[in-house]
Amino acid sequence: MRFGQRRERAELSRSRGVRTWAARVLTVSAVALTMPATIGISAAPALPGSGIVHRTPAGGREDLMVPSSMGPIKVQVQWAKRGGSSALYLLDGQAARDDVNAWTFETNALQQFENDDVTLVMPVGGMSSWYQDWTSPSNTNGQKFTYKWETFLSKELPDFLANYGVSKTNNAVAGLSMSGSAALMLAAFHRDQFKFAASYSGALNISAPGMREAIRVATLRHGAYNIDSMAPPWSPQWLRMDPFVFAQNLRGLPMHISSGSALPGEWDHPASAGAVFDTGVAMGIEAVTLLNTRSFQARLNSLGIPATWSFPATGTHSWKYWEAELWSSRTEILSALKA
Cβ burial of 272 (10 Å; 0-12, 13-18, 19+) is exposed
Summarised one tens digit per residue, pLDDT across range 306-327 is 999 999 999 999 999 999 999 9
Amino acid identity at 269: H
Q: Reply yes or no on whether the pLDDT at 277 is more than 90.
A: yes
- Per-chain mean pLDDT for the chain: 87
Q: What pLDDT shows up at residue 49? A: 43
Catalytic residues: 177, 286, 317
Cβ atoms within 10 Å of 317's Cβ, excluding its own: 26
**Contact residues for 178 (Cβ-Cβ < 8 A; gap 6+):** 93, 94, 128, 129, 130, 131, 202, 203, 218
- Contact in structure between 86 and 113 (CB atoms under 8 Å): no
Q: Reply yes or no on whether the pLDDT at 332 is more than 50.
A: yes
Q: What pLDDT shows up at residue 319? A: 97
Q: Which is more confident, 53 or 329?
A: 329
Report the candidate in 296, 327, 250 with the shortest Cα–Cα distance to residue 88. 327
Summarised one tens digit per residue, pLDDT across range 232-243 is 999 999 999 999
Q: What pLDDT shows up at residue 57? A: 66
Amino acid identity at 15: S
Q: What pLDDT shows up at residue 3? A: 37
> What is d(CA 32, CA 296) in angstroms, rounded to the nearest whole number?
62
* Average pLDDT over every residue of 140-148: 97
User: What is the sign of the dihedral through the CA atoms of 328, 185, 305 and 333?
Assistant: negative
Parse the chain into domains and list their residue ranges.
Answer: 1-44, 61-337
Summarised one tens digit per residue, pLDDT across range 93-142 is 999 999 999 999 999 999 999 999 999 999 999 999 999 999 999 999 99
What pLDDT band is residue 59 in, cutting at 50, 70 and 90?
confident
Q: What pLDDT shows up at residue 333? A: 98
CATH topology of domain 61-337: Rossmann fold (3.40.50)
> What is d(CA 278, CA 259) in angstroms, rounded to the nearest whole number?
18
Summarised one tens digit per residue, pLDDT across range 8-42 is 444 444 444 434 433 443 333 333 333 333 223 23
